[in-house]
Amino acid sequence: MAPHRLMAIHGDGSVRAILGPTNTGKTHLAIERMCAHSSGVMGFPLRLLAREVYDRVVKLKGEASVALLTGEERIVPPTARYWLSTVESMPVEQDFAFCAIDEAQLGTDPERGHVFTDRMLRARGREETLILGSDTLRPLIRKLVPEAEVISRPRFSTLRYAGAVKLSRLPPRSAVVAFSAEQVYALAEMLRRFKGGAAVVMGALSPATRNAQVAMFQRGEVDYLVATDAIGMGLNMDVTHVAFAGLEKFDGRRQRRLLITEMAQIAGRAGRHQRDGSFGTLGLGGEEGAHFTDEEIGAIEEHRFRPLDHLYWRNPELDFTDVRALIASLEARSDDPLLRPAPLSIDLAVLKLIAEDPAVAARRGRQARQLWAACGLPDFRKVGPMHHARMVRRVYSYIGEGGHISQDWFAAEVARLDNVQGDIEALADRLAGVRSWAYIAHRADWLADPAKWAERTHAVEGRLSDALHSALTQRFVDRRTAVLVRDIGARGADALPVTVAADGEVSVGPEPIGHLAGFDFTVDPTARLADKRLLLAAAERRLGEELDRRARDLTAGDDTKFALLATSGSDVAVTGDGHLLARLAPGRSLTEPALRTARALDRLSAPVRSALRARLEQWVEAQVGRHLGDLQRLARASSDPKHSPAVRALTAMLADAGGVTPRKVLAAPIGQLAKDDRAALYKLRVRLGALDVFLPSLLKPEAQRWRAALITVRTGDAMPALAPPGAATLPAEADPRGAVLAYRRVGTGWLRIDLADRLAAHAHKVRAAGGEDIVDRQLVTSLGLDETALVRLLAEVGFTPKGESWSWRGQRRRPERPAPLKPGNAFAAAFASLKP
């Protein structure tokens, strides 16, 4: 198969490859060249970088002439001539005088590399094309783009190795680079204590949040920046030193050491224009920190790197005959040995998962194209192919027949995310979530009113961005304590011996200074304020080993160490050895709650904290599966195409209600059920009772507790008081939300719904057999139901007392008025109480 061909963006213009290390002015040159042409397009690796360049070009050309196009943002004036975009969003079908691809060496990235390779090989400007990247691309450019003129650019300033440095001795205008959100937050918290504050920059932040954080650093309000490796992709800041908190990262498949080229890309952020910069590692206490090898140091300082010997590639000529043919064309190999097949990226992984359904695999032509377009929805939340495929499948269920996504569903999901309350983790999670809906809102063929929803998602993202910036600043910037923190360092707090007794008492030297309960340290309230901060800092800086040991014990322990703690309020927590570890929060569904770890766990080292969080998530998932497995199966059945629409509708409504709902609420789907549908529901263990539709397994005490807790998490209401195990009835003064606990109001008390169903079923059975006494006297007696409760219960299923017997009125179109009851009749007073 031919490796490449020209796109619609093509022409006879010159092609130049501008290669060199960071801080060589490559991007600046490309911007100048583009603005010198009548039109142009530039593709960038990050949305943040595209936005930064967009702002620069707007100042030069005006808003009416500049467009921004990313997955989640679309600013396209009718008169736009200059387009800035992510590489994935480049408008490849339009004709431009100028075209540039930035950071083209990312063609070696396992996840996105094939996109960079495709643009480098095929995207061309009519008059001029620039390929920007590392000098390691040189041999590949020579072979794959022989018509290109290769130009090398030297770095403007010198980059030197400065060794390891403690956090307390980090020079001003430094950037600390970490490789997980947990570590970024932990380091920012430490810098707040030692230095008075730090700005935070991560690729997952919205442009507004990121710009606000960077502006705070640029203005000198804080002297330190903590970031992920996102800063390596050309984000311009006044950084003089880059400190690596680690030299390993998880690349989506495994934990590995950074490549030398990746180290250089990040380290190269130090120094700007003619100002020299330095790089090194961060010494983190007694832990064995990261270290550069002599070979790595020499390569980074002298910009000497092994040339690239391959790029990742994916066939651009797709076959939409059917979905199987589409997958085969996506997995086709190039004849060129320099172009290796792209590893399984998430869009293809999702496509394969969805195509396991034979009905989907047979989709052809236009429907296959729509399916592939839906698979292109990015996994902003990083939940993995299995979970992400669920959302893609639902999107495709709407657009697969040429329709539009349900506005009710769209509006409900965006409204759920439009909440600026919560901690940093919660806000960042919602921000990631709204990015999916912003992406969808910019697909004009997926929504009936895309402009309206694009504006709505943009507004929600703006509010969340402001809230996140505020939360980051509040948590990681404390200018009032900066002087005290520096004083602590000057007085030698590191030299104070800190010990933790078996009962949790923490001492500095001979003096007890507080108590460690679980992961929460409380300083001695009798200490003087001047000493309290000093001793607190000394203890916290030395408690890391003890906290990590406790966390490792919990992680390695069995399930008996954990418990669900649901208070009378709306707080549902997970405890370990009796101490708070996390709280449950609304997740993707009732049985998939999110987990918010307690802030006390932020003191743990990043790997230990991640391991403990994974163990907590595993425990919650196992407990939900054990006690609410039938409810999980019900939720899966609601989207299973093997079931009829009536079954899917009923199971969806029942699952959304938590597995218990009054029959009258489900009257419409029940009326549509065929015989086979009822058999399918029976296999799903659904009981179609006369009064309620429910899953009997949910009536077990532990299942009721978990179900009530998860409903509490989702609704935010207070946790209802649980019934005693096995209780058939509840007194009148019981929690008025008995429906949450699967009890039905009868008279002044409450009756468990399965027992109410037994009484109703018995009455119908006796009536069908021609009997007269429809009441199961033995059961009524054992339950202790009074006549008022019995009359109310049987009235709900169509029976009214008539003399000493009962009359059936359930099937009459216009029920006759019942005959007056004789004075003194046993049911007279009870029936009278039902009248309005």
What pLDDT shows up at residue 716?
84
Q: What is the mean pLDDT of residues 282-298?
A: 77
Domain ranges of the chain: 14-152, 159-302, 344-468, 491-542, 554-719, 728-836
For residue 279 the two structure tokens come to 């790089």
Whether 328 has a pLDDT exceeding 90, the answer reads: yes
Give the 3-state secondary structure percentages of the chain, helix then strand then coil, rounded to 5.
Answer: 45, 20, 35
Percent over 70 (pLDDT), the chain:
87
- Specify the amino acid at residue 769: A
Short-list 423, 387, 447, 461, CA closest to 583:
423
Highest mean pLDDT among 7-16, 410-419, 532-541: 410-419
What pLDDT shows up at residue 828?
42
577-599 pLDDT, tens digit each: 888 999 999 988 889 999 999 98
Q: Is 408 exposed, middle or buried (0-12, 13-18, 19+ CB in 10 A)?
A: exposed
3-state secondary structure of 456: helix
3-state secondary structure of 723: coil
What pLDDT shows up at residue 482?
39
What pLDDT shows up at residue 488?
42
Class of domain 14-152: alpha beta
Whether 399 has a pLDDT exceeding 80, the answer reads: yes
What pLDDT shows up at residue 647?
92
Phi/psi of residue 305, nearest 5 degrees: -135, 150
Q: Is 784 exposed, middle or buried (0-12, 13-18, 19+ CB in 10 A)?
A: exposed
- Specify the amino acid at residue 376: G
780-819 pLDDT, tens digit each: 888 888 888 888 888 888 888 876 678 787 644 333 344 4
Whether 282 has a pLDDT exceeding 50, the answer reads: yes
What pLDDT shows up at residue 244?
93
The owner of tokens 């651009």 is 316
Whether 8 has a pLDDT exceeding 70, the answer reads: no
Per-residue pLDDT band for 833 (boundaries 50, 70, 90) equals very low
Between these two residues, 547 and 68, which has the higher pLDDT value? 68
What pLDDT shows up at residue 403?
82
Residues 818, 339: Cα–Cα separation, whole Å: 86
Between these two residues, 258 and 477, which has the higher pLDDT value? 258
Whether 770 has a pLDDT exceeding 60, the answer reads: yes
Q: Is 79 exposed, middle or buried (0-12, 13-18, 19+ CB in 10 A)?
A: exposed
Per-residue pLDDT band for 528 (boundaries 50, 70, 90) equals low
Tell me the average pLDDT of the chain: 83
Whether 832 has a pLDDT exceeding 80, the answer reads: no
Whether 27 has a pLDDT exceeding 80, the answer reads: yes
Residues 764, 774: Cα–Cα separation, whole Å: 7
Residues 578, 520: Cα–Cα separation, whole Å: 12
Q: Is the Cβ–Cβ distance between 155 and 37 less than 8 Å?
A: no
Q: HSE of 263 in the Cβ direction (CA atoms, 13 Å)?
A: 31
642-669 pLDDT, tens digit each: 999 999 999 999 998 889 999 888 888 8
Cβ-based neighbours of 577, under 8 Å, separated by 6 or more? 518, 554, 561
3-state secondary structure of 647: helix
How many CB atoms are closer than 10 A to CB 309? 12
What pLDDT shows up at residue 696?
92
Whether 738 has a pLDDT exceeding 70, the answer reads: no
What pLDDT shows up at residue 231?
76
Whether 14-152 and 159-302 share one fold: the answer is yes
Residues 601, 657: Cα–Cα separation, whole Å: 34
Phi/psi of residue 604, nearest 5 degrees: -75, 155
Q: Is the Cβ–Cβ distance between 730 and 720 less than 8 Å?
A: no
CA R_g for the chain: 33
Q: What is the mean pLDDT of residues 562-573?
A: 81
What pLDDT shows up at residue 4?
43
Percent over 90 (pLDDT), the chain:
34
- Specify the amino acid at residue 208: A
Q: Which CATH number fits domain 159-302: 3.40.50.300, 3.30.70.2860, 3.40.50.2000, 3.20.20.330?
A: 3.40.50.300
Whether 376 has a pLDDT exceeding 80, the answer reads: yes
172-192 pLDDT, tens digit each: 889 999 988 888 888 888 888
What pLDDT shows up at residue 339?
94
Using alpha carbons only, give the angle 774, 775, 778 rounded to the nearest 5 degrees.
140
Q: Is the Cβ–Cβ distance between 188 and 214 less than 8 Å?
A: no
DSSP 480: G
665-709 pLDDT, tens digit each: 888 889 889 999 999 999 999 999 888 999 999 889 899 889 888
Q: What is the mean pLDDT of residues 590-614?
A: 89
80-136 pLDDT, tens digit each: 999 999 999 999 889 999 999 999 999 998 888 999 999 999 999 999 999 999 899
First to last CA, the chain: 81
